[in-house]
Amino acid sequence: MLFMLVETFKRSEIKPLYRRIRDQGRKLPDGLKYVDSWIEASFTRCFQLMECDDITILQGWVVQMGDAVDFEIVPVAHSKDVRKMIEPLL
């Protein structure tokens, strides 16, 4: 499954977070895959696409990373898959 994580940086602390990612990596557990991410122009939010089959793996990672970031987890589907599902109904 795909999940869009909306990350809100606490007190806009983007430098310490990026420094930690640079020095320690994302620390992704087995079964969790980073797909891509986009940063808001104000540097206060990141929209990160992750993939995993077990939501508890993602939840565990969020708890581990939660000291610097507030997370919103949104399950998403790729638009091509939704189009394929809806096409017979049109």
Give the CA distances from residue 41 to residues 38, 45, 80, in Å, rounded to whole numbers and listed in that order. Answer: 9, 8, 28
For the segment 8-16, the average pLDDT, to the nearest whole number, is 78
Look at residue 68 and tell me whether its pLDDT is greater than 90: no
CA distance 75 to 87: 21
- The string of pLDDT tens digits covering residues 18-66 is 888 899 888 899 999 999 999 999 888 999 999 999 999 999 999 987 6
pLDDT of residue 12: 64
Instruction: Please compute Rg for the chain using Cα positions.
Output: 15
- 16 pLDDT band, cuts 50/70/90, is confident
3-state secondary structure of 58: helix
pLDDT band of 5, cuts 50, 70, 90: very high
Taking every pair of Cα atoms in the chain, the longest distance, rounded to a whole number of angstroms, is 51
d(CA 4, CA 46): 10
pLDDT at 90: 92
Domains in the chain (CATH in brackets) are: 2-89 (3.30.70)
